[in-house]
Structures are given as C-alpha cells and as structure tokens.
C-alpha cells in the first residue's frame, strides 16, 4: 500500500518536473524568437525609409551616384535573404549600415541638404531605426544566451535532447562600432 | 545583483510605510487623547486618513510629482523625436514597458524618473538637457533613469517623497492646532493635563521634523546613484556617453526652481551650488559628480 503511494507520488513529481522544464525551454525559445522579430520589424522599417532617403539625396549629390546605387542594391538584397537565415540577414544589414553611414558622411559636404527639414527628419528616423536594430540585437543575444545555457545545463539538457531544442547563434556585432550612425545636429 | 537590489528596495518600502503608519498612529493618539479624551478614537481616525492619503498618493504619484516639477507630458515622437526614441531604445534593452515621457521647461540640464513600478513609470527631462546633450549622452542619462525604473528605486523614492511631504504637513498642522488648543486651554480647569500634553506635543514636533528628513535621506542612499550609473552602462554598453554627459552636468547652472523635496529624484543635484562650504557634503542628496565619473572611468 505504502509502496504504491510512494511510487505514484514519485511518478507525479517526475511528470511535474518534466513539464516544468519543458515549459521553461519553450518560454525561453519564444522570448528569443520574439526578440528576433523585433529586429526584423526594424530592418523592414529601414528598408521602407530608404527609397525616401534616396529621392531626397539624389537632387543634391549627383556625384555620389555609386553610393546611392549600392544602398539601393543592398536594400533589395536584404529583401531576398530567406526569412530564417538570421546570420545572413544581419550580415547584409551590417553592410547596409556601413554604406548608409558613408552616405551620411558625404551629405556633410552639402549644407543645403543638411539644412533641409525633410533630410533632418529622415536622419532622425534612420538613426532611430539603426539604434533600435542595435538594441534589439543586444536583447536578442541575451535571450539567446539564456536559451543556450538552459539547453546545455542539467537536467533540462535531457528534455532539450528529447524534444530537439536547438541552440541559437549569437548575432555578431560589427567591428567598427555598435552600428549606430552617430549624427548630431547640435554642433 | 539586480535582484538583490530589487528585494532590498521592496523591503525598505515596507519598512518606510510601516514607520509612517506607526508615526501617524502616535500623532493620532496624542491628538485624540488631548482633545477628545480617547486615544483609540484618535488612532482610528488618523489611521483611516493615512490609508486614504497613501492610496491617493500611490495612484496619483506620477501626476503629483510631475506637477510639483512643472513638467508637461508629451504623447508622441513628433514632439521631441530624439528624447522619445532614446527612451524607447532604453525600454527595449531594459525589457520594461515604455514609460510616460515628460518635459520640464528649464535651461539647466537634468532628468528624473518616477512611478510605482516598471509597468507604471514616467521619465522627465529638462529642455536644457535636450539642447545640451548629443544622442550618446542622452542615452547615458536615460539609461540611468531606466535603471532606477528597473531597480524599483522609483517606487521607494516616490513613497518616501510623499511621506516626507505628509509629515511636514502634519507637523505644521499640529503646530497650529496646538497653538489654538493652547490659547483656549488657559481658561480651562485642567490646565495641568493640557500643559503636560502641550509639552509632549512640542517635543513630538521637535522629533518629527528631522525624522521626515531622515526618512527621505534613508530612501536615497547615495549608493543607488552609483548603481544606476553602472546599470546605464550595462544597457547602453557605452560608458563614454554617460561620462561625457556627467561632465556636462558638472559645469551646468542650477535649476531655476525646483520643489525641494523632489531634488533627490534628479540625476544630478538641481540645487547644486559651486561654492563648496566645509561640511557641505554631509547633507548632499547626491554623490559628487567627479566621483561618479571616476568610477565609470575605472569600469
């Protein structure tokens, strides 16, 4: 009698433990996926802003046509990266960030352009988006770190194996800086 | 570290609230016994009043604090794009909901955060701050404020502020009451009893006034400014932004007008004067800026 009760209690406890660990893993994976979608939203937003930027800048800087071309080309390249290839997406995005930064640097030579309110609000929008990409990536990396730690540590590693939870990869931070075009109009 | 700080803040909040109710009960008992002959009645009335006051204060704290500091709310990114976007960024990395955003018309650069918990928080910045700081510096300052939000510093500070305001109001109210009661009691027969209570009352007043200050002081242990600075760097990953922001704050003019009880909320002391007197640091609500900069540089 007592033995039966003890066995039942142990089984119930094991099931509860199993469910708890499994749900924990699911929650962490959901967090990581959510934070990726935050990055994705910002990438899309920047892509939507670029045509506007190109048409604003075009009239002023005829000589930097190649930079503008490269921005447009990277933009369409980014749209063609498969949805789940996060690393590839970020690689293109980083390149786009760099090219945009050099475009902004060029724009410094055109005081009329710099003074136009349309350009200024575009700049604010773009640097906002760049910052959001950088900060969402930081958030993504920390959620991925939590998930990966859980997948590797005992006892949740057993559950992770049974249910094929895969570790996710960190997103590389570009070398030059935090990928934020530092623009200020106050000096 | 973060969780310890949050737990510590929650404990302190309960302690401060408990102390407040005890104090109110004592005052109630004294007044009740003195004027109605019933200490229990006094305790009950004072207790009810204190509960009402605290619930109003807690539900309205953001409005009260913002009004005190002449801050007006902005509702969309268009009104102050850079500030709005930076606050959004900091809320993303700190993983807290977007706080309400307020602006104070004052040429002196400063900022603070308030609210009851990370779900109901608000940040305020002066127009001077927005003018003087570039984006990285603004990120450093707002990261500091967001750390206060995330650590639950805001709740403790807001409650301490409400309580010290209530206690100073009580002290001045009781002072007037005692004055009235005292003048009337000269015609009474039981002069002796009233006399004793008048003495006790005045002693209470003497104790209470500094107590209000002590409660406020305790809540704002200067240590939390260092912690919020470190938290800011954790969010922005960019100590240089905050360092250069603090350097700009160091040379800034004091604010035009500031509600004295809320000066401890700000990122740097709004009443700061450059002429340091001996012992002036003893009653500072903030650690010296050069020390904060030094700690950031050593990080």
- Show me where the domains of chain B are located: 2-66+155-219, 71-152+222-270+283-298
Beta-bridge partner residues of B72: B103
- Measured between beta carbons, the chain A residues lying within 8 angstroms of B238 are 178
- CB of B228 within 8 A of CB of B151? yes
Q: How far is B136 from chain A (nearest CA, A)?
A: 8
Question: Between the CA atoms of B250, B256, B259 and B262, what dihedral angle is there, to the nearest 10 degrees?
Answer: -20
A183 → chain B, closest CA residue: B135
Q: What does the radius of gyration of chain B's CA atoms come to, in whole angstroms? A: 22
- Is A183 an interface residue toward B (CB < 8 Å)? yes
A140 → chain B, closest CA residue: B93
Nearest to A151 by CA among A139, A138, A168: A168
Q: Is the sign of the CA dihedral B224, B229, B230, B235 positive or negative? A: positive
Regions of chain A where pLDDT drops below 50: 177-187
d(CA B168, CA B259): 14
- Residue B42: pLDDT band (50, 70, 90) is confident
Average model confidence (pLDDT) across chain B: 79
For the A25-162 domain, the top CATH level (class) is: mainly alpha
CATH architecture of the domain B71-152+222-270+283-298 equals: 2-Layer Sandwich (3.30)
Please write the tens of the pLDDT for every residue from A51-92. Answer: 888 888 877 766 567 788 888 889 888 888 887 888 888 888
Task: Name the DSSP class of A182.
Answer: -
Q: CB–CB of B135 and A178 under 8 A?
A: no
Domain positions in chain A are: 25-162
Strand pairing of B100-104 and B111-117?
unpaired
So what's the pLDDT on residue A175?
A: 61
Can you give the pTM of this predicted structure? 0.78
So what's the pLDDT on residue B195?
A: 65
ipTM for the assembly: 0.74
> Which of B145, B271, B290, B291 is flagged as catalytic?
B145
% residues pLDDT > 90 (chain B): 27
- Residue B131: pLDDT band (50, 70, 90) is very high
Least confident of B176-180, B243-247, B278-282, B293-297: B278-282
d(CA A114, CA B31): 69
So what's the pLDDT on residue B189?
A: 47
The number of CA neighbours under 13 Å toward the Cβ of A76 is: 6
Nearest residue, CB atoms, B93 vs list A121, A135, A182: A135
Give Cα separations from A29 to A147, A163, A173 (angstroms). Answer: 6, 12, 21
Please write the tens of the pLDDT for every residue from B164-222. Answer: 777 767 666 666 665 555 444 444 445 566 666 666 766 666 666 666 666 666 656 67
d(CA A96, CA A103): 10
């Amino acid at each position: 009698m007592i033995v039966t009760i003890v066995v039942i209690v142990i089984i119930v406890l094991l099931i509860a433990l199993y469910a708890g660990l499994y749900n924990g893993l699911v929650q962490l994976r959901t967090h990581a996926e959510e934070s990726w979608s935050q990055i994705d939203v910002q990438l899309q937003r920047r892509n939507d802003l670029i045509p506007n930027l190109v048409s604003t800048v075009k009239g002023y800087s005829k000589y930097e046509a190649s930079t503008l071309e490269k921005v447009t080309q990277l933009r369409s390249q980014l749209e063609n990266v498969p949805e789940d290839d996060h690393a590839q997406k970020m690689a293109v995005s980083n390149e786009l960030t760099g090219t945009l930064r050099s475009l902004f640097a060029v724009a410094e030579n055109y005081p009329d352009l710099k003074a136009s309110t349309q350009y200024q609000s575009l700049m604010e929008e773009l640097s906002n988006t760049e910052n959001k990409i950088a900060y969402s990536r930081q958030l993504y990396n920390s959620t991925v770190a939590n998930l990966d730690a859980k997948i590797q540590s005992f006892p949740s590693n057993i559950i992770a194996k049974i249910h094929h939870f895969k570790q996710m990869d960190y997103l590389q931070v570009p070398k030059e800086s935090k990928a934020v075009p530092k623009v200020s109009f106050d000096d | 570290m973060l969780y310890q700080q949050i737990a510590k803040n929650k404990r302190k909040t309960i302690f401060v609230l408990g102390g407040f109710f005890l104090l109110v009960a004592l005052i109630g008992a004294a007044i009740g016994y003195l004027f109605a002959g019933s200490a229990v009645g006094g305790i009950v009335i004072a207790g009810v009043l204190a509960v009402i006051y605290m619930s109003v204060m807690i539900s309205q704290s953001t409005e009260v604090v913002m009004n005190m500091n002449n801050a007006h709310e902005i509702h969309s990114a268009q009104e102050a794009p850079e500030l709005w976007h930076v606050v959004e960024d900091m809320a993303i990395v700190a993983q807290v909901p977007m706080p309400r955003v307020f602006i104070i018309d004052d040429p002196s650069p400063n900022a603070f955060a308030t609210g009851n918990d990370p779900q109901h928080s608000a940040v305020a910045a002066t127009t001077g701050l927005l003018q003087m700081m570039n984006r990285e510096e603004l990120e450093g300052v707002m990261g500091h404020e967001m750390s206060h939000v995330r650590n639950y510093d805001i709740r403790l500070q807001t409650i301490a502020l409400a309580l010290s305001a209530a206690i100073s109001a009580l002290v001045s109210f009781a002072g007037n009451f005692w004055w009235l009661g005292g003048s009337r009691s000269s015609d009474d027969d039981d002069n002796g009893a009233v006399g004793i209570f008048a003495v006790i009352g005045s002693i209470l007043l003497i104790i209470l006034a500094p107590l209000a200050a002590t409660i406020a002081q305790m809540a704002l242990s200067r240590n939390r400014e260092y912690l919020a600075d470190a938290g800011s760097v954790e969010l922005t990953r960019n100590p240089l932004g905050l360092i250069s922001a603090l350097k700009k704050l160091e040379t800034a003019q004091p604010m035009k007008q500031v509600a004295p009880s809320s000066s401890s909320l700000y990122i740097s002391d709004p009443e700061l004067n450059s002429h340091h007197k001996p012992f002036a640091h003893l009653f500072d609500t903030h650690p010296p800026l050069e020390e904060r900069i030094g700690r950031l540089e050593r990080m």
